[in-house]
Amino acid sequence: MYTFGRKWRKLAPYGFLLPALLIYLLFAFGPSMFTIVYSFTDISGVSGVGWHWIGLDNYQELFHSARTPVYVASAKRTVVFSLSVTLLQTAIGLLLAIVINSKLRGHLFYRSLVFMPVVLGVTVFGLIWTLMFNPMDGPMQKLWGLFGSSSTFLGSYTMAFPIVIFVQIWGAMGYTTVIFLAGLQTIPGELYEAGYMDGARSWSSFIHITWPMLAPTVTVNVLLAIIGSLQTFDIVFVLTGGHFNTSILGYEVYRSAFGGNAGNLRQGFASSVAVLQFGIVLVAAVIAQFYLRRREVQI
Amino acid sequence: MKAHLVPRPLGYLIMLLMVAMYLYPLLYLFNVSLKPDTEFALDPVGWVRHIQFANYAAAWQQGSFGTYIWNSLLYTAAAVAGSVLISAMAAFPVSRGYVRWSGLVYIFFMMGIFLPNNMIPQWNLIHALGLYNTRTGFILVNMGVGLGFMLMTGYMKSIPRELDEAASMDGCTYSRFVLTLMLPLIKPVLATSAILQAIGVWNNIIGANIYFSDQRLFPVVMGLYKFYGQFGNQWTLLAAALVIVASPLIVLYLFLQRYIIEGAMTGAVKS
């Protein structure tokens, strides 16, 4: 019930909603929709150059042209990136959260430390890792040396992409861990005590109590990780600039739209890549949502 | 007696590994930032022997951080203040159902997380408005309504409605209620949203790349690229520059970590 007056006074809440709605419509939602419109044009992004409707030409180039293998490779890489990030981040994040939640000495310090990269941001922690992976006798090179091996790391076609995945997980782990911690703290301690009475020890109490009770938190974390990792590309921008087989779709969008000199900017085409990326996000989110919710219901 | 999911010794072992993986890179960063170039070239990994702060002075100079830091502070403060204020103003009526179709409005705002990448039309819009290469333009595109709005809506639901009723009985108007009573009550979530937003704006390297060509308007992250890329890497200066860029965030984090972490936790559970 609204109690702040009648008639025109009832409009006050709408007035308060308006600024956020306008900013969102103008700078976020509207442009998102226009990306789809742009994908049917040959807009270049160079001022003063005209543009035309070109129907599905961009999509034809994407799916059926000599360049197709490049984009398919990039799309595959995006899926590999997203799957590895989602699985590892969720699994390791859960493990860390469980350990931190068991109130070891210094648990608040551990929590703060693992969350630190989230605060530093991707540019800073990305560059810290380029320092770590400095091929000229950097720390990771020394570590590799212990195993009698060496690598050019971010300058290597085989190593660069796994490193990008690793650094992405390292950086975002804190968020997953903290969300799991929040979920763990909602599980009543009595459940574990009752379980203990019934003979449940660590593994079985995890399987029968923690895992089912945590189902909604798992859903949140997995969805956030899937959607986030399918869209992000800052990490690629910072670590490799898309070289050495590390380009994922988000980065392709950036590269075609803004990455070159004025002569080869292709914002219309870049938009069609963005739409393809959106399609993948949508399919992944729907599938994940379906399985995760079904699991929640079964439990 | 409570059963531990992970036996204590194993727990400590896992934490030891985690601490090594998260602390070492930071320590290494400080270490390199204090090394003279010659020492770094001979021994990039060992502890610094001749501590000196010359790298900081040089990085500050070459990275133009004297200018960039102020730019970043301005962009971050303005974008965060703007987006926190408009998000809070919008979150209240939505959380209370004081506007029609509140549920739909909420979903509409949240859809932003899924929708296609919007940076290309957004960039053209800024151009069309004549805001390319301007502070205003960069601030506007950084004023997102998303995560903060979601956290606030969740938090406001936990504040009893009776408060609205009591205040309105006493003749308090809607706007006064929101601005003078509600905002102070949701301080923790305002702090959390502000910090999470600030981290994003401070680190927005892609945005800075596409919205500025005028070097005088660059934010601080752009300064990092003077030491990295094109002409080979100046590692010791890069390390010092990274410490410079990260330190405001680290200071903020040391003082406000409770807000940041617990805010992120409650937000996740409530939504």
Task: In whole angstroms, give the CA distance from residue A242 to residue A78.
Answer: 12
- Asked, for residue B33, whether it belongs to a domain, the answer is no
For B246, the closest of A100, A120, A132 (CB atoms) is A120
What was the pLDDT predicted at B232? 66
Higher per-residue pLDDT: A200 or A151 = A151
**Chains A and B: how many Cβ contacts under 8 Å?**
301
- Three-class SS of residue A53? strand
Confidence class of residue A299 from pLDDT cuts 50, 70 and 90? low
User: Do residues A272 and A74 lie in contact, with contact meaning Cβ atoms separated by under 8 Å?
Assistant: no
CB-based contact A112 B224, cutoff 8 Å:
no
Has residue B230 got a pLDDT over 60? Answer: no
- Three-class SS of residue A41? strand
- Asked, for residue B127, whether it belongs to a domain, the answer is yes
Report CA A262 to chain centroid distance, whole Å: 30
Q: Which of A272, A78, A107, A86 is nearest to A184 (CA)?
A: A107
Has residue A210 got a pLDDT over 50? Answer: yes
- Asked, for residue B171, whether it belongs to a domain, the answer is yes
Give this complex's ipTM: 0.91
Quote the mean pLDDT of chain A. 91
**Other residues' Cβ atoms within 10 Å of the Cβ of residue B252:** 18
Among A30-34, A57-61, A186-190, B92-96, which is the least confidently predicted range? A186-190
- Three-class SS of residue A83? helix
Architecture of the structural domain at A67-298: Orthogonal Bundle (1.10)
Up-side HSE of residue B194: CA atoms within 13 Å toward CB?
18
CATH number at residue B99: 1.10.3720.10
CB-based contact B257 A178, cutoff 8 Å:
no
Q: pLDDT tens digits for A99-117?
A: 999 888 999 999 999 999 9
Task: In whole angstroms, give the CA distance from residue B71 to residue B56.
Answer: 19
Q: Which of B108, B98, B114, B197 is nearest to B156 (CA)?
A: B98
What's the number of domains chain B is made of?
A: 1
Residues contacting residue B13 through CB under 8 Å, at least 6 positions apart: none
* Residues of chain A positioned with their CB less than 8 A from the CB of B146: 28
* Angle in degrees, 0-180, between the axes of helices B54-62 and B235-270, rounded to the nearest 10: 80
The single-letter DSSP state of residue A170 is: H
Residue with tokens 């989230």: A118
Q: Please give the average per-residue pLDDT across B6-10, as a whole number.
A: 88
Task: In whole angstroms, give the CA distance from residue B61 to residue A83.
Answer: 42
* Residues of chain A positioned with their CB less than 8 A from the CB of B93: 13-14, 16-17
For A19, the closest of B4, B86, B245 (CB atoms) is B86
Task: In whole angstroms, give the CA distance from residue A297 to residue B102.
Answer: 27
Q: Which of B124, B158, B111 is nearest to A21 (CA)?
A: B111
Q: What is the pTM of this model?
A: 0.93
CA distance B178 to chain A (A): 9
The single-letter DSSP state of residue B178 is: I
- Asked, for residue B191, whether it belongs to a domain, the answer is yes
Structural domain range at position B159: 70-270
C-alpha to C-alpha distances, A34 to A27, A265, B137, B199, nearest whole angstrom:
11, 18, 19, 28
For A4, the closest of B14, B116, B177 (CB atoms) is B177
Residues contacting residue A274 through CB under 8 Å, at least 6 positions apart: A35, A39, A253, B116, B117, B120
Residues contacting residue A168 through CB under 8 Å, at least 6 positions apart: A81, A85, A229, A232, A235
CA distance A66 to chain B (A): 25
* Residues of chain B positioned with their CB less than 8 A from the CB of A125: 25
Q: Does B130 lie at the interface with A, CB-CB under 8 angstroms?
A: no
Task: In whole angstroms, give the CA distance from residue A76 to residue A94.
Answer: 27
User: Do residues B233 and B226 lie in contact, with contact meaning Cβ atoms separated by under 8 Å?
Assistant: no
Structure tokens belonging to residue A10: 């009832």
Residues contacting residue A154 through CB under 8 Å, at least 6 positions apart: A130, A133, A135, A160, A163, A239, A240, A244
Q: pLDDT tens digits for B17-44?
A: 999 999 999 999 999 999 998 899 888 8
What was the pLDDT predicted at A17? 96
What was the pLDDT predicted at A3? 82
The residue of A2, A10, A123 whose CB has the most chain B CBs within 10 angstroms, and thus the best one to mutate to test that interface, is A123
Q: Please give the average per-residue pLDDT across A12-22, as a whole number.
A: 95
- Cα dihedral value B63, B64, B65, B70, nearest 10: -150
What does the domain layout of chain A look like in residue ranges? Answer: 67-298
What was the pLDDT predicted at B3? 54
- Asked, for residue B3, whether it belongs to a domain, the answer is no
What was the pLDDT predicted at B271? 52
Cα-flanking dihedrals φ and ψ of residue A53, to 5°?
-75, 130
Has residue B233 got a pLDDT over 80? Answer: no
What was the pLDDT predicted at B1? 41
- Per-position DSSP letters for A254-274, written without gaps between them: HIIIIIS-GGG--HHHHHHHH
